[in-house]
């Protein structure tokens, strides 16, 4: 199961090794269709026994026990990964952040320090995941979206300086009617890959729980000719099962 | 046509004039300003190294990518930059724009400390201006020798400073005697129209990237546009607008195609590409909105009431209930169609002369039939 590559993996370029290295991934979801499952799938990919990648997880939304339970059903033991130092779980619910610009600055410096420590022991990919940006804005940035954008910019520098990946989850519908729609757009512009989870146009269904649209902007690559995942848009549907997710094109039988 | 922008930047402005300035505009659905900047950067660098440019140096101010990204790109294009390179300086406003980091992280390039300078306070535009000029003078000296300035993106600048201040910085750079040419890029979806307009005013050239399928509904927001692009959205149109000295404006267009190695330009292939692209804008409904060829031919054949066909035969009035070939003896009940052949030939009696006053109206035409009334 682990070795098989599904539609989401293909869209993200997982038919090649470490496709997300040096990239920023933005997952957008809404009330009707939660995008958390994408985050869980990516966590499972990063912590797979076939790779030696590491994960720094900033949890603003739920405690460790929640993710542990979810990932266990997907076949991944977070407690073990924590012990192996492949997972650094930062429980932001417990942490107290000062609520001004220095709050996000301090948070970034801590992440940078952790990345540095991990980098000194491994050359594998390090992924920084944030669940989620809207709660980060409240907890660490005093509801100042500018500070959130500054924080994201600095996370972007990690992708080039330390060759990390950054994966963030954001609730699009909170901001879509804001007076400053540019905030959402800034995040989209910063991202190399945007994954949008939304309901079907026809509404709720038993067999299909929603659709994913993956926009892979890619970038100028130093590996000439390798990988064709630049400027691709893919759309497919999904069904959340007890122990995994099925992805399929509309109208096709599920693979 | 992209070549012509490069040539204008390479040749710089004339004595006593403000330096030519280019603004590259991208949107969320066509996010390739970085590729265009890299293209210009590579060409300018080559011409400076070959001694074919009016400027003898280039100051690159980076906001959206690290300096190493650009140096790596130049290396791919065969242009090697080392700490001893005297023709390029990089002002790094990407790594630590707000001074959050106390010391540089291990990954930052430390080779060639004069090649790359870390700039820590992007909101202080006066200091930024001085740093740019200082970097330029380090290469070319204080005299009359000039240098070009490339700012990879002004989006971050506009986030931290007001638009008038940013315009002021760009105008100051243009006015400086030693600045030969200047370019920057901007994402128009991230800013209000007045910001885009203000920057267009202070530039002599504007280049904008447009995907092949722009939205038919202008109200659709930029985010929706991104998800409505084609599956393979690395193609589109590249429009350039030159402001000539006498006030005239010249517009040129070509197609762009983006791949792993960067952006490529080609002349507009055919109208068909655009038509094919726009055809997809017609909503997909279950009924036919277009006429087929057969239907069009049949429609042409219909003879309208009151239209006489002068074939030399006796005049027939088509009342819509029978074909022209059918019987002509039966008197029609319609009051307007009473004209008989013998009445015409005798010259007496009523006559209806019908002139078709306009061409056949297209279906779904918005034309108001009362438009020609002279009230």
Q: Are B88 and B115 within 8 A, CB to CB?
A: yes
Q: pLDDT tens digit string along A4-47?
A: 678 888 888 877 777 888 899 999 998 889 999 999 999 998 99
- Is B106 touching A (CB cutoff 8 A)? yes
Whether residue B345 is predicted with pLDDT greater than 70 in this model: the reply is no
Q: Round to whole Å and give the CA distance between B24 and B210.
A: 12
* A window 83-102, beta carbon within 8 A of B: 101
Inter-chain residue contact B233 with A222, CB threshold 8 Å = no
Cβ contacts of A118 on chain B, cutoff 8 Å: none
* A window 106-165, beta carbon within 8 A of B: 108-109, 112, 116, 119, 146, 149-150, 153-154, 157, 160-163
- Closest CB to B227 among A101, A185, A215: A215
Tell me the range of A101-105, B314-318, B346-350 where mean pLDDT is highest: A101-105
Please state the ipTM of this predicted complex. Answer: 0.87
Distance from CA of A219 to the nearest CA of B (A): 7
Q: Round to whole Å and give the CA distance between A107 and A136.
A: 10
Q: Round to whole Å and give the CA distance between A135 and A171.
A: 10
Whether residue B151 is predicted with pLDDT greater than 90 in this model: the reply is yes
Inter-chain residue contact B262 with A227, CB threshold 8 Å = no
Question: Which CATH number is A54's domain given?
Answer: 3.40.50.300
Distance from CA of A41 to the nearest CA of B (A): 22
What is the reported pLDDT for A127?
A: 94
Q: pLDDT tens digit string along A203-249?
A: 888 888 899 999 888 776 654 444 455 778 888 899 888 888 889 88
- The tally of CA atoms less than 13 A away on the side-chain side of residue B113 is 1
Residue A254 lies in a domain: no
Q: Are B128 and B169 within 8 A, CB to CB?
A: yes
Residue A1 lies in a domain: no
Inter-chain residue contact A149 with B35, CB threshold 8 Å = no
Bigger pLDDT: B223 or B41?
B41
Q: Round to whole Å and give the CA distance between B226 and B218.
A: 14
- Is B20 touching A (CB cutoff 8 A)? no
Q: Round to whole Å and give the CA distance between A248 and B11.
A: 55
Cβ contacts of B103 on chain A, cutoff 8 Å: none
Those residues with Cβ within 8 angstroms of residue B109's Cβ, 6 or more apart along the chain or in another chain: B67, B68, B71, B116
Query: What chain B residue is nearest to A215 in terms of C-alpha separation?
Result: B227
Residue A186 lies in a domain: yes
Query: What chain A residue is nearest to B66 in terms of C-alpha separation?
Result: A160
Inter-chain residue contact A189 with B155, CB threshold 8 Å = yes
Distance from CA of A65 to the nearest CA of B (A): 33
Distance from CA of A215 to the nearest CA of B (A): 8
Q: Are B227 and A196 within 8 A, CB to CB?
A: yes
| Burial of B364: CB neighbours in 10 Å, binned 0-12, 13-18, 19+ | exposed
* Overall number of domains in chain A: 1
Inter-chain residue contact A185 with B69, CB threshold 8 Å = no
Residue A106 lies in a domain: yes
Inter-chain residue contact A189 with B106, CB threshold 8 Å = no
Task: Count chain A–chain B contacts defined by CB atoms under 8 A.
Answer: 108
What is the reported pLDDT for A181?
A: 67
Q: Round to whole Å and give the CA distance between A180 and A62.
A: 28
The range of the structural domain enclosing residue A133 comes to 7-248
Distance from first CA to last CA of chain B, Å, rounded? 52
Distance from CA of B86 to the nearest CA of A (A): 25
Query: What chain B residue is nearest to A102 in terms of C-alpha separation?
Result: B100
Inter-chain residue contact B227 with A181, CB threshold 8 Å = no
Residue A77 lies in a domain: yes
What is the average per-residue pLDDT within B256-267?
A: 85
Query: What chain A residue is nearest to B94 in terms of C-alpha separation?
Result: A157
What is the reported pLDDT for A231?
A: 76
What is the reported pLDDT for B14?
A: 77
Whether residue B90 is predicted with pLDDT greater than 80 in this model: the reply is yes
Mutate which of A218, A220, A235 to disrupt the B interface (most B C-beta within 10 Å)?
A: A220
Inter-chain residue contact A184 with B94, CB threshold 8 Å = no
Those residues with Cβ within 8 angstroms of residue A30's Cβ, 6 or more apart along the chain or in another chain: A171, A172, A173, A197, A198, A199
Beta strands in chain B (DSSP E): 21-26, 55-62, 88-92, 116-118, 146-151, 179-187, 205-211, 235-243, 249-259, 262-266
Structure tokens that stand for A88 in this block:
């650094």
- Is B209 touching A (CB cutoff 8 A)? no
Residue A181 lies in a domain: yes
Mutate which of A160, A174, A213 to disrupt the B interface (most B C-beta within 10 Å)?
A: A160
Q: pLDDT tens digit string along A47-58?
A: 988 888 999 999
Those residues with Cβ within 8 angstroms of residue A223's Cβ, 6 or more apart along the chain or in another chain: B260
Whole-Å CA distances, A14 to A17, A38, A46, A127, B132: 6, 14, 11, 15, 42
What is the reported pLDDT for B346?
A: 45
- Closest CB to A220 among B38, B68, B106: B38
Lowest mean pLDDT among A11-15, A36-40, A159-163, A191-195: A11-15
Q: Round to whole Å and give the CA distance between B3 and B59.
A: 21
Cβ contacts of B232 on chain A, cutoff 8 Å: 231-233
Q: Round to whole Å and give the CA distance between A27 and A25.
A: 7
- Please report the domains of chain B, with CATH numbers, ordered by start residue: 1-280 (3.40.50.300)
DSSP 8-state code for residue B115: T
- Is A82 touching B (CB cutoff 8 A)? no
Whether residue A69 is predicted with pLDDT greater than 50 in this model: the reply is yes
Q: Round to whole Å and give the CA distance between B303 and B317.
A: 10
Residue A142 lies in a domain: yes
Q: Are B240 and B203 within 8 A, CB to CB?
A: no
What is the reported pLDDT for B283?
A: 57
What is the reported pLDDT for B235?
A: 85
* B window 328-347, beta carbon within 8 A of A: none
What is the reported pLDDT for B228?
A: 67
What is the reported pLDDT for A3?
A: 55
Strand, helix or coil for residue B85: coil
Flag whether the pTM goes above 0.90.
Answer: no
Mean pLDDT, chain B, rounded, equals 78
């Amino acid at each position: 199961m682990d070795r098989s590559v599904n539609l989401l993996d293909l869209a993200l370029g997982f038919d090649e090794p470490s496709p997300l290295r040096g990239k920023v991934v933005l997952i957008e979801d809404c009330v009707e269709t939660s995008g958390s499952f994408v985050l869980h799938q990516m966590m499972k990919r990063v912590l797979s026994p076939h790779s030696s990648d590491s994960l720094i997880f900033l949890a603003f939304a739920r405690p460790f026990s929640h993710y542990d339970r979810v990932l266990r059903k997907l076949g991944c033991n977070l407690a073990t990964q924590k012990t192996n130092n492949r997972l650094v779980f930062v429980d932001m619910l417990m942490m107290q952040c000062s609520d001004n610009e220095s709050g996000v600055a301090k948070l970034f410096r801590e992440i940078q320090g952790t990345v540095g420590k991990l980098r000194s022991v491994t050359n594998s990919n390090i992924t920084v995941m944030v669940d989620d940006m809207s709660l980060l804005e409240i907890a660490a940035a005093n509801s100042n979206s500018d500070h959130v954008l500054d924080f994201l910019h600095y996370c972007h520098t990690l992708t080039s300086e330390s060759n990390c990946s950054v994966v963030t989850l954001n609730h699009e519908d909170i901001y879509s009617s804001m007076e400053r729609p540019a905030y959402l757009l800034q995040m989209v512009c910063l991202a190399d890959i945007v994954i949008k989870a939304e309901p079907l146009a026809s509404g709720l269904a038993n067999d299909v729980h929603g659709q994913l649209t993956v926009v892979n902007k890619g970038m100028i690559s130093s590996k000439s000719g390798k990988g064709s995942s630049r400027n691709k848009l893919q759309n497919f549907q999904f069904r959340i099962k007890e122990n995994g997710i099925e992805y399929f094109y509309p109208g096709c039988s599920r693979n | 046509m992209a070549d012509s922008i490069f040539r204008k930047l390479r040749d710089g402005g004339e004595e006593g004039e403000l330096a030519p300035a280019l603004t590259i505009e991208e949107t969320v659905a066509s996010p390739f300003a970085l590729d265009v900047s890299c293209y210009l950067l590579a060409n300018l660098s080559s011409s400076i190294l070959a001694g074919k440019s009016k400027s003898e140096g280039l100051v690159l101010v980076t906001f959206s990518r690290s300096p190493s990204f650009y140096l790596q790109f130049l290396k791919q294009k065969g242009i090697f930059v080392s700490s001893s390179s005297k023709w390029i300086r990089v002002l790094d406003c990407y790594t630590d724009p707000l001074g959050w980091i106390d010391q540089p992280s291990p990954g930052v390039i430390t080779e060639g400390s004069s090649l790359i300078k870390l700039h820590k306070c992007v909101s202080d535009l006066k200091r930024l201006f001085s740093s740019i000029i200082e970097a330029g003078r380090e290469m070319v000296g204080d005299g009359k020798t000039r240098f070009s300035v490339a700012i990879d993106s002004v989006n971050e600048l506009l986030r931290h400073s007001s638009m008038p201040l940013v315009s002021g910085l760009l105008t100051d750079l243009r006015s400086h005697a030693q600045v030969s040419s200047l370019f920057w890029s901007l994402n128009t979806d991230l800013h209000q129209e007045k910001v885009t307009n203000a920057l267009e005013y202070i530039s002599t050239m504007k280049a904008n990237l447009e995907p092949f399928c722009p939205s038919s509904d202008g109200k659709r927001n930029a985010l929706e546009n991104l998800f409505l692009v084609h599956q393979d959205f690395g193609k589109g149109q590249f429009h350039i607008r030159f402001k000539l000295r006498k006030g005239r404006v010249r517009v040129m267009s070509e197609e762009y195609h983006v791949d792993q190695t960067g952006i490529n330009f080609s002349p507009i292939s055919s109208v068909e590409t655009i038509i094919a692209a726009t055809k997809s804008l017609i909503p997909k409904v279950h009924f036919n909105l277009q006429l087929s060829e057969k239907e069009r031919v049949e429609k042409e054949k219909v003879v309208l009431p009151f239209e006489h066909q002068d074939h030399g035969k006796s005049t027939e009035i088509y009342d819509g209930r029978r074909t022209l070939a059918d019987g002509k003896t039966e008197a029609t009940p319609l009051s307007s169609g009473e004209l008989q052949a013998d009445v015409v030939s005798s010259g007496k009696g009523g006559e209806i002369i019908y002139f078709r006053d306009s061409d056949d109206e297209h279906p779904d035409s918005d034309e108001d039939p009362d438009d020609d009334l002279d009230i």
